A and B are shown apart, each in its own frame.
Chain A
Amino acid sequence: MQFLFAGITVGATYALVGVGFSIIYNASQVINFAQGEFVMLGGMTTWFLFERAGIPVALAIPLAVMGTAAVGMALEKFAIEPARDASVVTLIIITIGASIFLRGGAQLLWGRNFHSVPGLSGNEPIDIAGAAVSPQSLWILGVTVLVILALNWFFSRTMTGRAMRAVAFNLLAAQLAGVNNRRVLLLAFALAAALGATAGALIAPLSLAYPEVGIMLGLKGFCAAILGGLGFPYGAIAGGLILGISENMTAGYISSAYKDAVAFVIILLALFFMPHGLFGRRGADRV
């Protein structure tokens, strides 16, 4: 039970990161390797605002999220936009460069140490069905659900959201219908950064904040996105939860040493047997 909750908690984090990957992929076919760094920035900025600027955590988190969204937009504007016509591999390298850059910047500004951040409602575990659950976990779950609902509303009810879906479906048609692709891309990065930062800020009390925290989280979020079918945000959510739960169950019942490997083994198996992910549709080459 304990492991289930831990799994759901970390799974929700992977889900948020994975949705971010999907959103950017949908808008540009790019795999954003700096996504993990958005997570890191969320946590580190929250720590910084709380610890050094004395801002209460509940306020620091939204500020950190907005700040990271701004970083995401800057990344799109200055690194992705100029290289718009380059090959996908080149763009991937650019995002890798960005991730190194952001990590270097964080190390420079805030040092390499591990920092702790207090949870939103203290650190005393609550007893739920015999498992000791940290209140932060409940916050993570709650916020993730809210975020999902908000995204759902955004993508189906607002003009901008629908524009983004149109771009994912058929870029040319969307442009002909008047959708400004550059704005969509900018927004995609802002959203993905915000999602990553939210995940990072919320998980920081449980996992500590430090410059390297983004690497593994980013990779596993990527796994979640692929598991759910690259480009299907809801799939990423399911993927994230599955990964998180599997990981923790494995750690609890089989071997904690191979916990990190679980996500990647699942991904390999998924690629062998279910390549389009849980929800991906089989496409046919139009020639």
Chain B
Amino acid sequence: MNHLLYLLAVTTPSPSPSPVSPFGPTIIHFNFLLSTLIWTPVLMAAVLALLPNPRGRYDRTFFQIAFWTNASLLFLCLVAYNQANLFSSAAQYEENLPWLPALGIQYHLGVDGITIPLLLLGSLIGVVSVLASSAIRERVREYFVLLLLVVGSVNGVLCARDLFVLVLFWAGGILPIALLVAGWGGPGRRAAAGRFLAYGAVGTFALLAVALVLYAATGGISFDFDFLAHGLLNNRLQVVIAILVVVAAATRLPLVPLHGWARDLYAEATPGVAMLVAGIGARLGGYLLIRILVVGQHNGASLIAPFLAALAAATVLYAAFAILRSRDLRRFGAYAALVPGGVAALGISGMTSLALLGATFQLVAGGLAAALVVGATATIAERAQTRDVEVMGGLAPRMPKLSWLFVLAGFAVLGVPGFASFIAEAMTLFGSFHNQPGAVFVLSLGLGLLAVAFAFFYQRVLFGSPRPDSPGASDASLGEMWYLGLLVAMLFWWGVLPGGPKLGGSVTLFDQGIVNVINNSSADIMSGYSPGAS
């Protein structure tokens, strides 16, 4: 109780301006919103772990607890998104508690225009991943405990304003994911989990090195982002930090050549886990690039931008060619899920306001698209009782709903007009062309090849002639339709109304517009990088 009172006393005078919203302000007005988002899933995981479950009698209850936990997080994130202040680029919903003052480590949380949409994405993907896990029948308690821990760690990474705290949350999410893959995945689950663990370790060490180097170089006073971003570092040190950040981000986003874990994890994990990792887990790599590299290391970011752009273009091109030779439907989904990350990385390397806006939007839209394509391929593989494309054929008449969801997933990854990914990709490509024209061209070429690969797969798997030797297939259940449909709906919503619905062209209705929320911070961050800016 005393701890709670202390927490309230310390956090009540919020240092950020009070959020203003055009509709529904002060629906919920408390100052530990971010802590709630992080620790509620962790607390519920602990509750699940301690609840008695004689002979699996309460397995369904565990599912329901996990679902309602994520659903309430989604509601809170929607409120946070709706109440976000569009006229201040400062951190909002801020919480700042001293933790290890001798080392300059604080429990400092806060979100801005870049983080809020990602938090919303994370909570949405959390709900979707729980729904996608409704078919789990073995060790249900353990499964949902680990899933909730992953959700908590993701939210922690997004909310942390202290680099040390961020590293802890970053590392904290790796083991639960690896255990989820190793415990409930497909035939190659152990190798997939091992690879993820190994790549995760490399990324975490790189990130830890970044934290220590930055900490030392700025005088060893604080790990706080605001402090570290204002440190005056020479160019050589900035480039070293930039390389380390890119390595850490590339292991998670992932970018070629550090993408090795993604193929196996997305192909072997359960649909729920694969969607969680593809939808939000992998997006954290892009977030890291923005938060540490672009915000804090101007010269390092500018110097390393061509290298990052080359990696981005190579990732998309590689994914396209890999899909062309892939004969495994789930690996097809895994490679397709690499593409949004590549586009986002290009936007980050574009070094213009529009490119960063597009890249951040692409993290959100691409997260939805990647989750959709991974989820759709996993569900089709389950329903068709095979992953082998050579055996599949003419599935569309037998599973019309899933077929169209798969087609829409392809469109979302490619960035067809009408989907949020189109706007994000257009902004990214237009914005990046000034500084990275070659990479833009190569990446677009990769998207073209990807379109051909998708067409090939659609013809072969869905709409071609049915194969007599293929096993029996059935269409998506209502639950599967719900969670995949939810992703499609969000992609359409933000694709058609990126600036939010407006009454009479000016009065905003219940959604402030995702681009407005993102731009609130991205404009501030990138002003120094504008073309022609001194």
Q: Do A and B bind each other?
A: no
Residues of A within 8 A of B (CB): none
